[in-house]
Chains A and B, each alone.
Chain A
Amino acid sequence: MSISAFLTRVGKALLWVIPPILILVAAWLVGASLLPQPAVGIIRLNTDIWSFSASLVQAQIEAALADDQIRAVVVHINSPGGEVVATQSIFLELQRLREQMPVVGSIDDMAASGGYYVAVAADPIYAKPSSEVGNVGVWALIPTDLAVNDVILTSGPFKLTGSNRDEFLRDIEGIRLEFVETVFSQRGERMGLSRAELSQGLLYPGRTAVNLGLVDHIGTLSDAIEDAAERAGIANHRVVDLEKRVLTEMYSDSYGTEMWIASADPLTGERSLPYGAYLLYDSRLRGAP
């Protein structure tokens, strides 16, 4: 066989092999592009809630929304609560996320006060049998009531203080009602407590919380992930730790930064709390402000 004949036969053979392979490769690429392996994102809230921790959660929410592969989210909570506005900020962001994908809650040790406020943004909510759940309410240190004087002239009676005792008490009551109505709006008919009973601020064990309708199921983070995947209609998914991703992006490899968020003073462990707080006041947490 001459060389030219050989090359002709090889060319013919390639003509038979390459296009099908190209078709399969193209099909694979198109499939991977159009049908990527889905993922369930984990948003973690493992600290007091204050401006920084709230912004960290918000960054995780943004990361979930930006990642097409993330089709569902589990909010993993271990928090005694914290600042009112920071808590409400997380709640509203999670509600926005919930309009895009399933958001399932998973309570680890504790979802107290603001921690529970965040939890009710998720549906359903999982907890461990002895997780601590509830503590609905708010507390605050009363502002100083300054008298009118001739040293500092003001344009209005409450310009210096922004409030007086009565108004402040009204604010506190309003924040409590906001909290209670938020819980009732999200939990609906599942709630087995009256508004007054919920306002007692009791902290319930996870199993009791299930019976009272504060949470839905006893289960682990894995259960919550599978539930989220089921709700999103996905299987064989990946799990993406969004907090790790966000922190890695923010601080390169400083994943341990979370520890700095958890307590105001990493040396003493003393917490520095704000004046208005959805927060379980618990000596076990060294909660003295």
Chain B
Amino acid sequence: MNEITKDTKAKRKAILSTPAKYLMVLALFLGLAALLFFGRLVWFYPHLPLERATVPPIDEANIAPESAEYQPFKDRPVAGNGRVIIDLSHDNNLEVNDLSPLRDRLEARGVTIVTHSGINGSLRDQLRDATALIIVAPTMRYSAEERDAIVDFVEDGGLLLLAADPTRPVPEDDEFDSLYSALYPTSAVPVINSVASAFGVVYYDDYLYNLEDNAGNFRNVRFAALNKSNALTKGLDTVVFFACHSLRSDGVALVVGDANTLSSVRTGETDLAAATLSADGHVLSLGDVTFMTPPYHTVEDNDHFLSNIADWLAVDRRLRDDIEDFPYLFGRPVDLVPIGDDLLDPQLVTRAGEWQAFFNQTGLTLSLRTEAESEHDAIFIGTFDNVEPIEDHLSDAGVTVTLVEEEEEEETARGGAAGEDETPKSHVTIEGMGSIGIEGTTLLALDRSDDSIVLIALAEDTEAAIEAMERLITHDFTGCVQADAATVCSSGEGPRETREPAEEPGEEEVPTIGRIFILEDDDKAVGSRTGAAELEAILSPRYDVTVWPMKNDGVPEYEDMTGYDVYIVDSGDYAAEEDNYDALLAMQYIEQGGVMFIGAQPLAMPEEDQLAPIDDLQVDDASHPLAAGFELGEPITLLPSESGVPATVMSQEDTTESQIVFRRGPDSAEAGAPAVVTISQEYYGESIHLVLATFAFYRLPEDAQRTFALNAVEWMMGE
């Protein structure tokens, strides 16, 4: 058994000693090596790479940019007439030839084109004989006076073309930083809106774009929705505007974007208008300028549109039916006829020669005659005491001249001093206006009742009558009050008529001359309204009144506020705001005249100022002109405040140097505290009258409103 075992072991030993045994070991290690290799494979590359999608090619067919289509248009001008003013006095952002296509078309229609640069007279002067005004890309704000002139012009039948676009902002002074100013422009939209808003048009500070269908670029917008019924857009299929504003207008939309034409700021809005015409057809507003300029005026139907615009501008729609249209109200040769022997003096003859030259410059003729020819228009010039030859004309103009003998006037004066009934002085009565004494007064009356046009200039004496004619020539109607067919001016020599306070409604009124600026301080957060509308209604029949709503128009600038006799800052029932001194800042522009601050909290105040409701007033100083017509001791109950904002309680210290005219009434909190005070100051040699009233004007009863407003204005004017 042991031998067998030993033999087996020996055999095995012999086997293990063979090369086969050796190879087995090597194979084992080779297997280990393979395992190592595949382990590494699985470790680092656990699966095959995912199938990669091929890189997709680009569809080149879609890369085909379009260009704007230039389309020639043969202009067929129809003879027109008129005088078109192109206003370039407001730093207009235009290149030299930008308006050439429009100018060429206007000239082809026989229209006279005048460029107003601002150095050849005021815009109002330029518009006197104009038929149309073109305002393109202005970058300097229009003053209130200019805006009024344009409004008057349009109301008088003039045509107004407004155009502005977002690529024409306010130019920067620093030409070396032009790129910066191009990228960060100062918008000129407020500038164009300073005119457009007067006609119910608003330019939005945006640009229109269309990413779906455009003329080569998103901002080159194709407009196919054109008003086919309007002559301006009749016959057009498509116009292209090159970066244009959207507009809002009370009138008719002429050019409207489609559903894909969007505004850069009016998110989600469509059907946006890019050109509008006012309801009366006198104001055309365009949101783009570039489409009028070379070469873009030839794109699509732009040129046709431009011709239509030229046709529209070349029609004289101007009404010339009042004195302000002098001398263009005359359509025939004019005879200058003196009335009264004493006017036939050398001075008149000399002046008549100058006036003839003036008429000649305007294409009219003027002849000095002793009698008007029937086929001519006429100007009668004379004095009030010699109106018999022209009474019919005066009557047609609604004017009656009443002369009172000098002795009678003196008697009246003595009687008035003794407290007796007053007898009328010599005066002129004008329909719709009232009466005014002839002393220191000049009258301009217009009779258009017959075929001929008759203008009458009357004054106290020859010199004043000539001055009246000079007013017409120079168009200087400052200090004048105008009715339908007559204008009354102060010659500055005589006393103004004074109005008896608290006169009954319907009582004959005597015109007073002066300009009033009402600053409606309504840009506050808390409050309801001001009394500017009531003030305007009361004062405008007698005075030239301008209302400036700060909420809409912002803070007025120097040029907006100069030249007025009285300034009224009406903050109504608004609560004063800390750090909101804009109304006071605006007051720095006042150089002379009277100022009234009226409102619940009429001045910006420090926090410690006391506030309390005010419900009534009572007169404190009955001798003060401001209290004329009010009863001493009789409370004036104020109407309820619409906002409930309490009023400032003035302390006695506030009024040390002033006069208290009204105090808070017995029903008011802090009864007896000053409510209306007046201050007279000398300011650089000029006398300034100030009124400070701490209640909302609209809260006064209607009759008290009238009395208080007229009293205050007259006192502030120093009358």
Are A and B part of the same complex? yes
Q: A95 — which chain B residues lie within 8 A by C-beta?
A: 55
Q: Which residues on the A side are within 8 Å of B218 (C-beta)?
A: 199
B179 neighbours in A (Cβ, 8 Å):
141, 288-289
Contact, CB under 8 Å: A35 / B45: yes
What CA separation (Å) do A205 and B50 show in the bound complex? 30
Residue among B32, B62, B65 facing the most chain A CB atoms (10 A cut-off): B65
A177 touches B62 (CB 8 A): yes
Contacts of A102 in B (CB 8 A): 49-50, 52
Q: Produce 1/0 per residue, B29-72, CB < 8 A to A.
A: 11011101100110111111110111111111011111110000
Within 167-202 of A, Cβ neighbours of B (below 8 Å) are at 169-174, 176-178, 180-182, 184-186, 188, 195-197, 199-200
B279 contacts the other chain (CB 8 A): no
Q: Are B63 and A27 in contact (CB under 8 A)?
A: no
The answer to whether B45 touches A233 (Cβ under 8 A) is: yes
Q: Are B26 and A23 in contact (CB under 8 A)?
A: yes
Q: Is the CB of A177 within 8 A of B65?
A: yes
Name the residue on B nearest A167 (C-beta).
B67
Within the complex, what minimum Cβ distance (angstroms) separates B211 from chain A?
A: 4
Query: Which residues of B, 196-223, contact A by the 8 Å Cβ criterion?
Result: 211-212, 216-218
For A235, the closest partner residue in chain B by CB is B46
Q: Is A231's beta carbon under 8 Å from chain B? A: yes
* Residue of A170, A173, A235 with most chain B CB atoms under a 10 A cut-off: A173
Decide: B44 and A200 in contact? CB cutoff 8 A. no
Whether a CB of chain B sits under 8 angstroms from the CB of A38 is yes
A4 CB → nearest B CB, Å: 20
Q: Which residues of B contact A288 (CB under 8 A)?
A: 179-180, 183
B22 within 8 A of A: yes
CA distance A141 to B8 in the complex (A): 100
Tell me the count of chain A residues lying within 8 A, CB to CB, of chain B.
56
Given A31-B36, A98-B55, A188-B56, decide whether A23 and B29 contact each other with a Cβ distance below 8 A.
yes
A20/B63 in contact, CB under 8 A: no
Contact between chains at B44 and A236 (CB < 8 Å): yes
B349 interface contact, C-beta 8 A: no
Residue in A closest to B48 when the chains form the complex, CB atoms = A233
Contact of B37 with A177 in the complex, beta carbons under 8 Å:
no
Query: Min CB distance, B20 to chain A, in Å?
Result: 14
B-facing residues in A203-227 (Cβ within 8 Å): none
- Which B residues are CB-close (under 8 A) to A289? 179
Within 8 A of A (CB), among B530-563: none
Question: How long is the Cα–Cα vector from A71 to B28 in the complex, in angstroms?
Answer: 33
- Interface assignment of B473: CB less than 8 Å from any CB of chain A: no
Asked if A28 is at the interface of the complex by the 8 Å CB criterion, the answer is yes
Known: A20-B25, A35-B45, A169-B217. A230 touches B56 (CB 8 A): no
Residue of A35, A178, A186 near B44 (CB, 8 A) is A35
Interface membership of chain B positions 164-181, coded 1 if the CB is closer than 8 angstroms to chain A and 0 otherwise: 000000000000000110
- B30 engages A38 (CB within 8 Å): no
Cβ of A240 within 8 Å of any chain B Cβ, yes or no, is no
Complex: A141 Cα to B183 Cα, angstroms: 11
A99 interface hit (Cβ, 8 Å): yes
Q: Specify which chain A residues have a CB less than 8 angstroms from the CB of B43 in the assembled complex.
A: 235-236
Complexed CA–CA distance, A32 and B37 (Å): 8
Interface residue A123 (Cβ < 8 Å from any Cβ of B): yes
Q: Is the Cβ of A24 less than 8 Å from the Cβ of B32? A: yes
Please measure, in the bound complex, the distance between the C-alpha atom of A177 and the C-alpha atom of B59, giving whole angstroms: 10
Q: Is the CB of B216 within 8 A of A173?
A: yes
How distant is A274 from chain B, measured CB to nearest CB, in Å?
14
A271 contacts chain B at the CB level, 8 A cutoff: no
Query: In the complex, A219 Cα to B283 Cα: how many Å?
Result: 59
Query: Once bound together, how far apart are the Cα atoms of A212 and B472, in whole Å?
Result: 72
Chain B residue with minimal CB distance to A182?
B58
Q: Are B211 and A196 in contact (CB under 8 A)?
A: yes
Q: In this complex, what residue of A is CB-closest to B209?
A: A200
* Residue among A71, A172, A181, A199 making CB contact with B58, cutoff 8 Å: A181
**Do residues B58 and A235 form an inter-chain contact, with CB atoms below 8 A?**
no
Q: Mark B343-367, 1 if CB is under 8 A from A, else 0.
A: 0000000000000000000000000
Contacts known (A19-B26, A199-B218); A177 close to B64, Cβ less than 8 A: yes
- Contacting A170 at CB < 8 Å: which of B49, B67, B260? B67
- Say yes or no: A173 contacts B32, CB within 8 Å: no
| A172 engages B217 (CB within 8 Å) | yes
B48–A178 touching, CB < 8 Å: no
With A and B bound together, what is the CA distance between A36 and B37 in angstroms?
11
Task: Identify the interface centre among A27, A169, A188, A197: most chain B CB within 10 Å of its CB.
Answer: A27
The bracket for how many chain B residues form the interface is 35 or more
Which chain A positions have C-beta within 8 A of B54? 99
Taking a contact as CB atoms under 8 Å apart, the answer to whether A235 and B59 are in contact is: no
- Bound Cα distance A170, B36 (Å): 64
Interface residue? A166 (CB, 8 A): yes
Name B26's contact: one of A20, A169, A196 (CB within 8 Å): A20
The interface residues of chain A lying within 8 Å CB-to-CB of B36 are 24, 27-28, 31
Contact of B33 among A27, A36, A98 (CB under 8 A): A27
CA A188 to CA B37, docked complex, whole Å: 42
Q: Which residues of chain B are near A31, meaning CB under 8 Å?
A: 36-37, 40-41
User: Does A245 interact with chain B (Cβ within 8 Å)?
Assistant: no
Q: Which of B203-245 contact A (CB under 8 A)?
A: 211-212, 216-218
- Which listed residue, B41, B50, B55, B57, touches A230 by the CB 8 Å rule? B50
How many angstroms between the C-alpha atoms of A71 and B46 in the bound complex?
13
Shortest C-beta distance, A124 to chain B (Å), equals: 11
Closest chain B CB from A12 CB (angstroms): 10
Within 8 A of B (CB), among A93-127: 95, 98-99, 102, 123
A37 lies within 8 A of chain B by Cβ:
yes
Give the contacts of B156-194 with A (CB-CB under 8 A). Answer: 179-180, 183
Measured in the bound complex, the distance between the Cα atoms of B45 and A31 in whole Å is 12
Q: Which residues of chain B are near A38, meaning CB under 8 Å?
A: 44-45
CB of A59 within 8 Å of the partner chain = no
Q: Does A237 contact B (CB under 8 A)?
A: yes
- Of B33, B46, B50, B66, the residue contacting A23 (CB under 8 A) is B33
Q: Interface readout for A137-173 with B: 1 if CB under 8 Å, 0 if not? A: 0000100000000000000000000000010011111
Answer whether residue A234 sits at the interface, using C-beta atoms and an 8 A cutoff.
Answer: yes
Give the residue of A16, A19, A181, A234 whose beta carbon is less than 8 angstroms from that of B62.
A181
Contact, CB under 8 Å: A166 / B67: yes
**Residue in B26, B44, B49, B66 with the greatest tally of chain A CB atoms within 10 Å:** B44
> Which residues of B in the span 3-41 have a Cβ within 8 Å of any Cβ on A?
22, 25-26, 28-30, 32-34, 36-37, 40-41
In the complex, what distance in Å separates the CA atom of A99 from the CA atom of B53? 9
Query: Are A26 and B33 neighbours in the complex by a CB distance under 8 Å?
Result: yes
Instruction: Say yes or no: is A250 at the interface (Cβ < 8 Å to chain B).
Output: no
A30 contacts partner chain B, Cβ-Cβ < 8 Å: yes
Q: Which residues of B contact A178 (CB under 8 A)?
A: 58, 63
Which residues of the partner chain B approach A15 to less than 8 Å between Cβ atoms? Answer: 22
The distance in angstroms between the C-alpha atoms of A71 and B50, with both chains bound, is: 12
- B residues less than 8 Å from A63 (CB atoms): none
Residues of B within 8 A of A236 (CB): 43-44
Q: Does A247 contact B (CB under 8 A)?
A: no
**A27 CA to B180 CA in the complex, in Å?**
69
- Taking a contact as CB atoms closer than 8 A, the residue among B32, B49, B67, B183 that contacts A231 in the complex is B49
Partner pick for A166 among B25, B28, B68, B260, CB 8 A cutoff: B68
Measured between C-beta atoms, what is the minimum distance from B586 to chain A in Å?
34
Query: Chain A residues with Cβ under 8 A from B212's Cβ?
Result: 196
Residues of A within 8 A of B62 (CB): 177, 180-181, 195
Q: Is the CB of A174 within 8 A of B49?
A: no
Residue on A nearest B62 in the bound complex, by CB:
A181
Q: Can you name 6 extra interface pairs (CB under 8 A) apart from A169-B216, A199-B218, A234-B46? A: A19-B26, A31-B41, A36-B44, A38-B44, A173-B65, A199-B211
A-B contacts, 11 listed (Cβ < 8 Å)? A15-B22, A16-B22, A23-B33, A24-B33, A99-B54, A169-B67, A178-B63, A181-B62, A182-B58, A199-B211, A199-B218
B residues with CB within 8 A of A: 22, 25-26, 28-30, 32-34, 36-37, 40-41, 43-50, 52-60, 62-68, 179-180, 183, 211-212, 216-218, 260
Chain A to chain B: the 7 pairs with minimum beta-carbon distance, closest first: A27-B33, A173-B65, A20-B29, A196-B211, A233-B49, A31-B37, A177-B63
